[in-house]
Amino acid sequence: MTKTLRILIVDDDVDLGALLKEYLEAEGFAADVVHNGIEGTDAALSGAYDAVILDIMLPGRGGVEVLQRIRLTSKVPVIMLTAKGDHVDRVIGLEIGADDYVPKPCYPRELVARLRAVLRRTGEGAPQEEDVLRLDRLRVQVPQRKVDWDGSPMELTTTEFNFLQILLQAGDRVVSKDELSERGLGRAREPYDRSVDVHMSHLRRKFAEAAGDAVTIETVRGIGYRVQR
């Protein structure tokens, strides 16, 4: 029997929350709605949900702070709802650890497509080509979605893990930004979309902290990225 995935919606717009809940449930998900950041934080950290849809503008506690608190202890996938054209909020959300974003006005069909892509990337029912990927003292356990450097765990977001897996499996091949977006984010890269670059920058910082310069993610100008070996 297929597990029913539970989705948490955190949005102070009561009508939109009800609409999204109805649409998600029609698509086979179970969904709950909370309308402020404090309740949203508690619910997201309860372990009861498979993904969170999180608005930026919330009473009680803003969406950015909610996301920060979630990422202190949880890897639950988070899709942020941002104001149309507000690139600052999008970049901040991605820097903190959001897995994707959807601009408002929010179209339920697009949101569900993004949600399914994020859930596929968490390994929910997705086949894996290799169980363990290695580079120097880096070990990536693919089915368990765990990463460690020299035996010490590294905390990566869902998207960071996906990008790392794609780069390691590519070997010496340069992986284009379009491919990273398609495979890692589950969507085509849009003009002026810096999501891939932001996630990659965050991944680089984590490697610098854990491994110094032992693992280098090289930028190939005008094309994409590869891991230097």
pLDDT in tens, 113-163: 889 888 887 654 343 445 788 888 999 988 788 899 988 999 998 889 999
84 lies in the same domain as 148: no
92 lies in the same domain as 136: no
Q: Which CATH number goes with the domain that contains 56?
A: 3.40.50.2300
**Collapsing DSSP states into helix, strand and coil, what is residue 157?**
coil
Percent of the chain with pLDDT over 70: 94
Residue 78, phi then psi, degrees to nearest 5 = -130, 125
Of 121, 146, 164, the residue that ends a domain is: 121
Q: Chain-centre distance of CA 179, in angstroms?
A: 16
147 lies in the same domain as 113: no
115 lies in the same domain as 164: no
pLDDT band at 3 (very low <50, low <70, confident <90, very high): confident
59 lies in the same domain as 94: yes
Residue 48 DSSP one-character state: -
**Collapsing DSSP states into helix, strand and coil, what is residue 109?**
helix
Q: Which CATH number goes with the domain that contains 155?
A: 1.10.10.10
Cα dihedral value 83, 16, 58, 203, nearest 10: -60
114 lies in the same domain as 26: yes
The pairing of strands 78-83 and 51-55 is parallel
With respect to residue 1, please indicate whether it lies within any of the assigned structural domains.
Answer: no
Task: Name the token pair of 99.
Answer: 């897995």
H or E element, residue 19: helix 14-26
Structural domain of 78: 6-121
- Write down the pTM of the prediction: 0.62
With respect to residue 127, please indicate whether it lies within any of the assigned structural domains.
Answer: no
As for how many domains the chain has, the answer is 2
192 lies in the same domain as 99: no
24 lies in the same domain as 114: yes
Using an 8 Å Cβ cutoff, are 51 and 77 in contact? yes
